[in-house]
Every structure is written in structure tokens, then in C-alpha cells.
Structure 1
Amino acid sequence: MTHPGWGSQWSGQAVPRPRTAQDPRSARRRPAGARPARRRRRGTRRRAVLLAVAGLLVLVVVAVAWLAWDAVRARSDLETARDAVARLQDQVVAGDVEGARATLPALREHAAAAHRRTTGPLWSVAGAVPWAGPNVRAVQAVTEAVDELAQHALPPLVEATALVDPAALRPVDGRVDVAPLADVASQVAAADVAVRATLDRLEQVDTGAVVAPVAEPVGALRDQLARVAADTGTAARAAALLPPMLGGDGPRQYLVLVQNNAEPRATGGISGAVLLLRAEDGRLEVVEQRSGNELTGLDDPDAELSLAEQDLFGPLLVTDMRDVNFTPDFPRSAQLARGLWARATGTQVDGVLSVDPVALALVLRATGPVTLADGSTLGADDAVGVLLNDVYLRFPEPARQDAYFADAASAVFSAVSSGQGEPAGVVDALAEAARRGRLLVWSADADLQAHLAGTVLAGELRGRAGDSPVVGLYLNDGTQAKLGYYLDVDAQVASTACVDGDAQRIALTATYRYAPPADVASLPPYVLGLDGVVPPGDFRTNVLLYLPEGAFLEDIMVDGRPVEVHAQAHDGLAVAALTWTFSPGQSFTLTANLVSGPEQSGEVLLRGTPTASGFDHVSSVSKCADRG
């Protein structure tokens, strides 16, 4: 029978009859008390699953325990390797070749063990686990970095140290044997590349995504490796620069500008004396010396002033050897000095160096005192006072003053070139002078200058260094006198906030105190200034504040009151200029708030004019570092 609503497809089909216990076809014979097969199968599967889960848990526990045991042993190896790296660095710097060779095998063994213990399938799986993964990968990055450093970067550096014993670089009969240094230049360069590559890999580790017990060692290793990289970078540059600059591949001639900080200029002071230094096959010799007064009025047709230079410095920048460093950009000063020397003598030099009496005093501390032409001696403790002040009181004639200044500088160079004192001490003194902005070097050779670029020796005008904003605070005397000897500068810079785009809000404070003796007005005319620019005993200077790249100035005040400044843009950097005239005992305090350009999240650097009283480079930790 069909329903009208059923379709034909539903017809003709038998309705199946459900099986019941009474249905004889559904009956199955089974032993009394036996369980149904389906229940047995369910119980078997349950036991199998439980056993599998239990086995998996056992494997996980074993794996975690194994990883933990490997991690503990790897940490011990890393701590041993870390201590060995620090010890090896000290030994290399000190030239302790045998000590470094003894340290290296254990360092390599422990570094390799730490790396081996943190690799393999278990560590790969752990690295993929969401929470643990970043921590595991960070540990692996550290062990890989230390192993790479130990196996590939440090061995050639140790062998290079073995070939270049500091004692072997001591001048003998006025000559330095630069051949060993040239022989290891490629090894040192390779070590530097390996160290920096390792450091770059560590920089990729996101310490903000890992727990503190992992983040802290990673940060510590970065800091340590950065110090190693600084040493290898310096060594690589020295190995590339010194042989050719010392005339290893042919004679070279250099101008040496001896800056007189008593009359401030942006990079230090006027070039009171100029030496011509000849280098050939490692032998250094002062072949000529002139007073800065002799090298004036030398209009160089090849040197053109930019509009900013005309406005900030005036024409003397390109006509007077004493004023080529009105600009804080030493490569520009050096090129101008080279052109003026060629104009005066017809000789083209291969480079320009600059030193000041503070740098000479540092060197004298290593060489010991020197004897001058008049029979007097000059030592580390009295060099600054004698050269920047006493000489003007002892010798009224400017020509005699200039001759004394040049003789002192020549005597110090002769002491160095003759091997007087300990070579390591001389190298340390020169390095300290460079760090303080008191030793600057420029080469006319483009390849050599490329090695100098970006180092403390270069003295470039920069508004940023990597990700660090650079603030510049420079002085140029406006008195034509030698009263800058009595000027004391205390300057500080601070990062106060990190703002969008990794820029920084920066606060600058600089106090300038002019403290001459009570009888300053009775000092010789050459000290007070010959042109009567200011009343006798007063001191005038121009102050130039250079902002970081892309920065803007929020406010600037002097002694707590807003001031107007002369605004300019020099080589792409904003400049605020003002002029102060000091009476004896007077001080001025400059404060400024500014915001750096974007992507400048590194430490804040303050660069300025090195003064007789010792203003040196300073820095401030970035507030952006607080954000991890």
C-alpha cells in the first residue's frame, strides 16, 4: 500500500525487520559468563591508548630530562669558554703570545662541547614549541656564536699576535720594521670579519622574547663580543694602515699640525707650528718645521668656500694655516692645509696629522722627558702648562715662541721614532689621545682614508654614528689672543625620553668658566690679543651647537634665559651659533633641549673642542634601551 505523497521510488521495497533477542537468527552461542566481543575490543583499545600515552609521557619526561642535562652541561661549558675569551682578549692585547696559545685549546674544546650539547633532533623539536622555542633558539644562537668565535676568529688573531710582538715594533736606529705587520694584515682582517659576523648573529636574537635567565647571558655575551670586535677592528685597521703610511711601499710625506689650545679652534686650537714629516721604509724623520704665522695670505684658487662656510667661518678658513680648523670637520681642514702647504712650498703631501700639547704630554708619559734645543727639558707633567702659557711669559717675541713650540713637537716625535720608552706605552698613549679627539689623521690616499673613516682618528663632522645621535659643541676664538688657556668647560648630555621612530629627546648642559689670574690685564700683549678686539683681560669666543642628523631644537637658553642664535645649516646639519665675551671670573651656562632624527636609538654622543683644561668626549645611555 502506498501513500499519495510517496514517490514511486519508495515503492516495492521491503521494510527490514529489526532483529530481537527472540529472533532465532540473532542468537549467538557463547560460553556462560563471557563478555561480548565488542566490549572486549573496547577494553583492548583503551589499554593500548593508555599504554601509548604513558609511553609518550615517559619519552617526554626523558627528553626534557635529557635536554635539561645537556643544558646544564652546556651552561658550564659556556661559562668556562666565556672566562677563557676574556682571558685570551687580555693576553692578546698585552702581547702575551704563549699565554694566548695556552688558553686557546681549552676555549675551543669547551665552545665546541657547548655547541654540540645544544644541537640535534631533541633541540630542534624543542625549538618549535611555542613558549620554549625562543629560549631554546636563543641558547643555540649563543653556543653557535661562541663556537664560531673559538674555531674560526680567534686562532688567526693569536697567530697574528705571535708574529707581531710589540717589542719587535720598537724603532731601531729610527726605523720600524713594518714587514711583519704587513704579513699578518690579511689574517687580522679575516679575524675581524669573523668576529663581526658572529656579533651580527647575536644581534638577531630577540632578548625581549626570552626569559631573564636566558636574556641576561645573551646580553652579556653581546657586550663582551662588542669589546672583542672593537679590538679586532682596531688591529685590522692598524695592520692595513701602518705599513703603507710608514712608507713600507714607498716614501710618504705628512704635515703635522700642532694645535695650540690657548687660542681655541673647533678641533682644538690654532696651528701654532707645522712640521713636515717624512716616512720611508718604516723610518720617520722631521725634515722641516715652520710657524703657523709664516703660512698666511695664501689664497688657494682650488679651495672654494660653501655658503655655510662663508657665513660661519669667513675667508681665513682657506687662506690662513692657523684657521683651517675653524671647521669641526677635520678631513676638510686637512685638505685645506694640504692645499696651503702646496701653495707655499710647491710640495704635495700624502696626508695630514694633528696633535695638541695634551697629546704630546700623554706620549711623554710613555717616553720620558725630552731635551730641547735650548738645553731645557720637557716632561709629561709640565708640557701643557709650558707650551700653552709659560712660553708666552718667558719669550716676548712671537717668533721665539713659535720656534720653541715647533722644537718641542719635533723633540717628542724624535723620541718616538728613536724608540725611547716602552713601545706598548707609546701605543697606549696615542690611542688615548685619539679617543679624546687630540690626535687626528687624514690620508690623501682614498683607500687608506676609507680605513680611517668612521674611527676616532678621522675627526669627521657627523650628526650620527650608526644608530647614535651626535651632538657637537665647538669653540672658535674671537680675540686673537692666548686666553683660552684659562677657559674651563664642563659639558654633559642626557637622553631624557625615547619617542616615536626611535628618536630621542636630549638635554644638553654646558658651563664655561673663564678664570685667568688676578693680574691678567698686565700679561704680555701677545697673550691679551694684539688688535684690541675686547678690553684687556676679557675673552671672546664663538660657540657652535651642531644638532644630530634630522634633529630639531626645542629651546636654547643661557643662564636660564632664552637667547637668539644665528641659525645655519652646515653639511646637512642644523647649527645654532652665538658669541660670548667673558670678563675675568665670569661663567656662562648653556642649556638646550632637542629631539634627534628617527632611527637614532643608540647612546647619545657629545663631541666638542678639546680645551687646555681637558674637555673630552662624553656620552649618555639611550632611553630607548629601557624599552628592550
Structure 2
Amino acid sequence: MRYIGRTVSIIVGVLLAMVVVYAALLFNSARILKSELEQAVKVASSSNLSVDVSGAQNGGGQFSEIKSVVPQLQEHTGKAREQADGVVWRIATAFPYIGDDFTAARTATDAFDTLAQQALPSLIDAANTMQQSGLSNGDGSFNVKSLSAVSSKIGGAKTVLQEQVAALHKAPEPHIGQVRDALKTGTGILDSLAGTISSYSDTITSLSALFGHDGTRHYLILSQSNAGMRSSGGIVGSVGTVTVSDGKVTLGDFYSNSKFTMTEPVKSTDEINKMYAISRLGLPYGGDIRIASATPNFPEGAAYAKEVWAGQSFGSNDIDGVLSFDIAALQSLIGVTGNVTLSTGQTLTADNTAQYLSNQVYIDIPSPQDEDRFFEESAQRIIGGALSGINADKAMKLVGVLPKMAKERHLYLWSFDQQDQSALRAAGMTGEISQQKSTPTTGVYSNEMGWTKSDWYVQRSATIKRTSVGKDGSTSYHVSYTITNSMTSDQAKTLPQYITGTFPVGMMNNLIGQSKLPDDQRTVVNTVISGLSQPGVVGHSLAIAQPAGGTVANIKLTSNSPTQVPKAQEGFDRITSNGVTYYVNLATLISPGSTATLEYDVSTAPGASPLQFDQTPTVGDPKIEYDYQR
């Protein structure tokens, strides 16, 4: 018995000694990991890595800060990972309760080390490729091989970082407050960098999809004028072409919409007819390039424009894709290319382009023919300057502005080649309405029916408020959308008629005479025509998009406008096109100084992410407020 007791004592003593030694090893490992990880986070935070990536995209630092801090990051994250991958740390992750903290810390360490050892070096390698090989050949064409290589390298950085960030979000929540706070800070940094690098990668890939092909591609370019609002931007003011042959970009002539003839009704898509109020009335209306942007679903607008273009004497039937830029996009492109001085002597800059093209041009140039020539020249010069002579500096600047332009619906890129479409969709460049139940989107889109250039004076704002969450996980929201016509009554009297309205009363009366409208509807339409013929009155046909997997209900539109036509503005018809359900009215008439408010309720599918709001693009920053506190 004495022998057994002595043996037990020895074993207990050895175990206690092992525990003490393990505790000491674990304490030392945790100390080293904590110190190295804190220093890595400090380097990343103080260096503003995410800002530097964006700055590089805008042609600023070109990753100079990233290049200088990567060795420091690699040293700290490498030492931290040595500890987290060691046996001592792995044993600790199996501890009950406290093991979650060690697991979370290990996951964060892996993520930061992957950022330092793989993602950022790939980004630097891509930048070096752009600088050394160049994205442009000596003749100003795209270097197709270089573009493909850059796309591949940045895509690699995106993939490895996204995998780590996904793992980090799935890591168990730490119990210790300090660990939890540190993890939150690190996750925020990695989320920001992953988002920026992902945007960078997707944009380069989309450029490669359009311009990185061997052989020849022909693209149509639409220049949209926001002064006359359409669902996807503005009235198509001028149209041109760009040919890409083995990377070489050649810009063709631009033609104002006044040079287009009306074609036979478009066969490739009927979505324009469903969205544009004149067509919904059953009035005879052919293919009109001005309304190619009447749907927020840009691929349908692109198909419409392609068919109308093919019917013109100067058109062709070989279009492989369509690019669209509105006035806000042109202003952003000037920030990339530099100021443009036109033949009139007017200089367009990154500060004045939107205001000039949306409003001032109609005051300075009273002749519609001269205005058309001005728009043709400005679109050709600005877009041509952005697409030709691409070098590393210009590429970085373009990559910096394209994602924001696309997100706010100022820019659309579409290819009729299905292989290209996935890359353009990933970059968010296509202008399609989301049809994913898990990521629901509702939107309000406007088509100006009044033949004015008054939409520069229209102010819009939206508030989306969460009202309830169901037991099944479905969520309800209330949307309030306000449209104000800020033009004053004095301005309506003194501004050029081209701004305040040139509604073709005679033409519309002839169309109505040919229609088979019932008498009550004919009366409503005639009242709308009377209102639209008054100076400064904007008349928006509104479309509400229902989120995928959700519903729209309780639509209500109120207005203090003296020209309002209740039966035209309050009656919303339900239409479906390409899997999207819309609720559309005939016209919402808003006189100078008046306001209309559209309200409706939305429900989303169980388990869906928070509702997002989309709209016809605004020239200024979108005024969208989300109230999801409930």
C-alpha cells in the first residue's frame, strides 16, 4: 500500500508539474501571440491600408504605403501564426468554454497572416505588372496579355482573403471581453480590405471581359442625359460606337437622338413597352432610341438600343455589347482624364460637368441643333479619353471610380456574350434588378413623360424603416419616397422653353385619336396632357419594384401639386417582366415648388438580409436613410 501511495504521489506530482509547465508554455505563447497580433493590427490601422488601396486605384500612392508596411506585417503575423499553429495552442482550443477564445484568436491570426503573406503581395505584384508591362501597347491599345495577368493576380488575392474573412465570421464568439474587442477590430479591418480588393478585382476582370479578347468586338455607347429622367438614368441623348480589335480601341462617330428615325416596334424585348406609359396605353409607338433607358433592367434596354441602332442608316447589325454613361459618370471620367475644352470654348471639369450638361448648356446654347452638336462632341471627347491610351496610372484611376459609378447607376456595362456576363455581374456593372430572395431589393424608378429638361431641379429622398419581424423570420418595412420640384414659378417663366417643357400636344392628340382608349381613360390622359404642357411641370411615371420573395402593399401617393391628376397618379398597375414584378402608374404631375410623396409597405422572405433600396440615379449623392433599429 505504501508503494502504491508513493506511486500515486509521483504521478500526481508529475501531472501537476506538466500542468504547470503547460500553463507556463501557454502563457508565454499567448503573450507572444497577443503582442505580435496587436502590433500587426496597429501597423494595419496606422497605415490606413484600405485607404491606400483606394488611393492607389485613384492614381495616388500606387500601393506605396502597402509596399512599405508589408514586410512589417509579415514579420508580426508570421510570429503570431507560429504560436497559433503550435501544439500548445491547438491543445488550448479543445478546452471547454475558454477554448472558443483560443479558436477565435487562432482564426484571426490565420486571416491576418494570409493577408500579409498572400493577398497584399499579390496586389503589389499586380501593380508592378501594370507599371512594368503596362496595360497599354505603344499604339494606345490594351495589352491583352497584361490585362489578363493583372486580372488573374488580383483575383487570387481576392479569393484567399475572402476565404479567411468567411472563416473569421464563422469563428465562435470569444467569452473574454478583451479578446472579443480585439477580434471585432481585426474583423473590421479585414472586412474593409476584403471589400476593397474584391471591388478592385471584379472591376479589372470586367475590363478584361470587354477589352481583353483576341479578335474584334463592336460596342454601342449610350450617353444618357439626366435632365430628362428615365428609369435607368436619363434620356439617351447621343449614341456612338467603340471597336476593340486585339485590344486596340477605336472610337466611332456619335449621333444625337435627333438624327435617329423611328423604327418598327422592337421585337427583342417588350419591357420598354410595359414600363413606358405611352406604350402601356396601347398607342402606336415604334422603336425610339430616346426611351431605351425607360427600364431599370439595363440588359433589356441594351437589347432595345441594339435593335434600334441596326435600323438606322448609319447603324450596323454587329453590336457585341452596350456601354452606358450618364452625366454624373462623364463628370467622374473627367476626373480620370483631365479637363476637356470643347470647340465652343467651354471647359468641362470634374466639378462643373454635371451642372453644365444637365442645365447650363440649355441656357448658354439656345439652338437645339447646336446643343445636339455640343452633346455629341462632349460625349465623344470624354468617353474616348477614358477608353483610349490606357496606362497603369489611368487604369488605377478608372478602377477607383467605376465601382461607385455602377453602384449608383451612373454606369452600365453589358455584353451579349454569355461568358462575359458573369464577370460583369460579379462587378455589379450590369444594372439588373436583384432576384435573390436572400438579398432583397426594392426600388422606385422614374420616367419623365413631360418632354422637359427640368429634372435637374428635382430633388428626391427615401426613408426605409423596419416595422416588424415575424416569427418565421420574415421582415416588414415601410418605404417613404419624396419627390420635390425645386424650380420656382419665376424660373418657370424665365428659363428657356427647352428646360421648362416642349410637350408635343399636337402629336399626342393625334396618337390618342388613333387609339382605342375608353372614354374615361381618354379624359384622364387629356387632363395629364394639359398639365404637362404647363411650363416647369415634371410628370413622372413611377415604377415600384417588388423584392424577390417578398411583397409590396398599401401603395399611397399624395401631392400638393395644383396640376395633380389623382386617377393618373394613384392607380398603380401590376406588371411582370423578366421575373420582376413592378407596380406602375401613368403620371405623377409636380408643379414648380410642389412635392409628391410615395409610400408603400414591403415584406421580405424569411431569413433574408436587410432590405436595400434602389432608384433612378441622382446627379448628386443619393439621399437614402435606413432606420433598422426596431
Give the corresponding residue for 2:453. Answer: 482
Q: Is the 8 A contact 2:50 2:193 kept in 1?
A: yes
Q: CA RMSD in A?
A: 3.4
User: What is the one-letter code of the residue matched to 2:538?
Assistant: F
Alpha-carbon offset, residue 396 of structure 1: 4.2
Aligned pairs (5 A) from 1:332-351: 332-344=300-312, 345-351=315-321
What is the aligned partner in structure 2 of residue 356 from structure 1?
326
CA distance in 1, matches of 2:111, 2:442: 34
- What are the residue-to-residue correspondences of 1:446-465 with 2, within 5 Å? 446-464=418-436
Distance 1:44 1:164 in 2: 77
How far the C-alpha of 1:586 sits from its partner, in A, is: 0.4
User: In the alignment, residue 342 of structure 2 is paired with which amino acid?
Assistant: L
Distance 1:145 1:317 in 2: 58
Q: Give the CA deviation at 1:136.
A: 1.9
Which residue of 87, 91, 100 corresponds with 1:134?
A: 100
Provide the rounded CA distance (Å) in 2 between the counterparts of 1:475 and 1:63: 68
Q: Deviations over 1:433-470 (max 9, x none)?
A: 23322111111222222101143322111154x84321
User: Are 1:588 and 2:596 matched, yes or no?
Assistant: yes
Counterpart residue type for residue 484 of structure 1: D
Look up the equivalent residue of 2:348 and give its one-letter code. Answer: L
Residue among 605, 609, 614 paired with 2:616:
609
1:246 aligns with 2:217: no
1:575 aligns to 2:565 (yes or no): no
Contact in 2 for aligned 1:174/1:283 (Cα 8 Å)? yes
In structure 1, C-alpha distance between the alignment counterparts of 2:76 and 2:621, rounded to whole Å: 45
Aligned counterparts of 2:390 and 2:257: Cα–Cα separation in 1? 28
Which piece of structure 1 moves more, 328-337 or 96-105?
Answer: 96-105
* Corresponding residue number in structure 1 for 2:369: 399
Structure-2 separation of matches of 1:229 and 1:551: 30
Deviates more, 1:337-346 or 1:316-325: 316-325
TM-score between the two structures when normalised by the length of structure 1: 0.82
Structure 2 unaligned regions, length at least 5: 506-528, 561-565
Partner of 2:233: 268
Confirm whether residue 471 of structure 1 aligns to residue 471 of structure 2. Answer: no
| TM-score normalised over the length of structure 2 | 0.82
In structure 2, do the counterparts of structure 1 residues 61 and 573 end up closer, same or farther at CA, with 3 Å as the change threshold?
A: farther
Instruction: Please report how far the alpha carbon of residue 526 of structure 1 lies from its aligned counterpart in structure 2 after TM superposition.
Output: 3.5
Amino acid at match of 1:505: S
Match of 1:81 among 40, 46, 60: 40
Give the whole-Å Cα distance in 2 for the aligned partners of 1:352 and 1:445.
Answer: 11
1:199 paired residue number: 165
The answer to whether the Cα contact below 8 Å between 2:465 and 2:477 also exists between their aligned partners in 1 is yes
Q: Where do 5+ consecutive residues of structure 1 fail to align?
A: 1-40
Name the CA distance, whole Å, in 2 between partners of 1:66 and 1:410: 69
The structure-2 alpha-carbon separation of the partners of 1:301 and 1:437, relative to structure 1 and needing over 3 Å to count, comes to: closer
Deviation at 1:606, TM superposition (A): 1.4
Distance 1:301 1:271 in 2: 16
Change (3 A) 1:402 1:444: same
> Does the aligned pair in 2 maintain the 1:609–1:615 contact within 8 Å?
no
Matching residue of 1:531: 504
Kindly provide the amino acid, as one letter, of the partner of residue 298 in structure 2. F
1:149-160 alignment, distance < 5 Å? 149-160=115-126
Which position in structure 2 is the counterpart of 1:66? 25
Matched, 1:434 2:402: no
1:99: how far off? 5.0
Q: CA deviation at 1:524?
A: 4.1
Q: Which residue of 2 aligns with 1:544?
A: 543
Kept in 2: contact 1:435–1:456 (CA 8 A): yes
Matched, 1:508 2:507: no
Shift of 1:152: 3.3
- Indicate if the aligned counterparts of 1:507 and 1:592 stay in contact, CA closer than 8 A: yes
- Separation in structure 1 between the aligned mates of residue 478 and residue 443 of structure 2, nearest angstrom: 13
What do residues 219-275 of structure 1 show as CA deviations (whole Å, max 9, x unaligned)? Answer: 333333233323333333344343453365233222111111111111111101111
Give me the whole-angstrom Cα distance separating, in 1, the residues matched to 2:605 and 2:425.
Answer: 22
Letter paired with 2:207: L
Distance across 1 between alignment mates of 2:559 and 2:316: 52
Distance in 1 (CA, whole Å) between partners of 2:250 and 2:478 is 47
Q: Partner of 1:413 in structure 2? A: 383
Q: Which amino acid aligns with 2:322?
A: V
Q: CA deviation at 1:536?
A: 1.3
Equivalent in 327, 344, 348 of residue 374 of structure 1: 344
Q: Distance in 2 between matches of 1:308 and 1:139?
A: 57
Per the TM alignment, residue 296 of structure 1 is displaced from its structure 2 partner at its CA by 4.4
Instruction: Write the distance in 2 (CA, Å) between the matches of 1:364 and 1:230.
Output: 25
CA contact (8 A) 2:502 2:533 kept: no
**How far off its partner does 1:617 sit?**
7.5
Contact 1:489 1:615 (C-alpha < 8 Å) held by counterparts: no
Alpha-carbon separation, structure 2, partners of 1:206 and 1:425: 39
- For 2:191, the equivalent position in structure 1 comes to 226
Number of residue pairs matched by the alignment: 579
Aligned to 1:112: 78
Q: What is the rounded CA distance, in whole Å, between the counterparts of 2:137 and 2:364 in structure 1?
A: 35
SS in 1 for 2:93: helix
Shift of 1:170: 7.3
Q: Return the letter of the residue paired with 2:15.
A: L
Q: Which residue of structure 2 lines up, in the alignment, with residue 236 of structure 1?
A: 201
Separation in structure 1 between the aligned mates of residue 423 and residue 627 of structure 2, nearest angstrom:
27
Matched to 2:417, the amino acid is D
Q: Distance in 1 between matches of 2:591 and 2:327?
A: 26
Greater Cα offset, 563-572 or 504-513: 563-572
| Shift of residue 57, structure 1, vs aligned partner | 3.8
Deviations 1:306-331 (A, max 9, x none): 69937877379971111122111111
- Is the Cα contact below 8 Å between 1:463 and 1:547 reproduced in 2? no
Residues in 1 aligned to 2:101 and 2:559: alpha-carbon distance in whole angstroms: 50
SS at match of 1:549: coil
What SS is found at the alignment partner of 1:259? strand
Matched, 1:143 2:109: yes
Question: In structure 1, which of residues 252, 255, 268 is the aligned counterpart of residue 220 of structure 2?
Answer: 255
8 Å Cα contact 1:467-1:600 kept in structure 2: yes
Find the counterpart in structure 2 of residue 444 from structure 1: 416
Query: Contact 2:226 / 2:233 at 8 angstroms: preserved in 1?
Result: yes
Give the fraction of aligned pairs with identical amino acids, expressed as a percent. Answer: 26
Give 3-state SS (helix, strand or coil) of 2:414's partner.
Answer: strand
Counterparts in 2 of 1:78 and 1:318: CA distance versus 1, 3 Å: farther
Provide the secondary structure at the position in 2 that maps to 1:303: coil
- Does 2:560 align with 1:555? no
1:303 aligns to 2:253 (yes or no): no
**Corresponding residue for residue 514 of structure 2:** none
Match of 1:288 among 237, 246, 253: 253
Please say if residues 141 and 248 of structure 2, whose CA atoms lie closer than 8 Å, have aligned partners that are also in contact.
yes
Answer with 263-272 or 83-92: which moved more: 83-92
Distance 1:266 1:390 in 2: 23
From the superposition, tell whether residues 336 and 618 of structure 1 become closer, same or farther in structure 2 (CA, over 3 Å): same
Whole-Å separation in 2 of the counterparts to 1:165 and 1:621: 45
The one-letter code matched in structure 2 to 1:595 is S
* Aligned-residue offset at 1:124: 3.3
Asked whether 1:122 is paired with 2:94, we answer no
Q: Tell whether the 8 Å contact from 1:367 to 1:415 is kept in structure 2 after alignment.
A: yes
Larger Rg: 1
The Cα shift of 1:474 comes to: 0.8
Report the CA distance between 1:55 and its aligned residue: 4.4
AA partner of residue 253 (structure 2): E
Q: 1:186 to 1:515 in 2, by over 3 A?
A: closer
Residue in structure 2 matched with residue 27 of structure 1 by the alignment? none
**Per-residue deviation at 1:97?**
5.4
Q: Report the Cα offset of residue 558 of structure 1.
A: 3.6
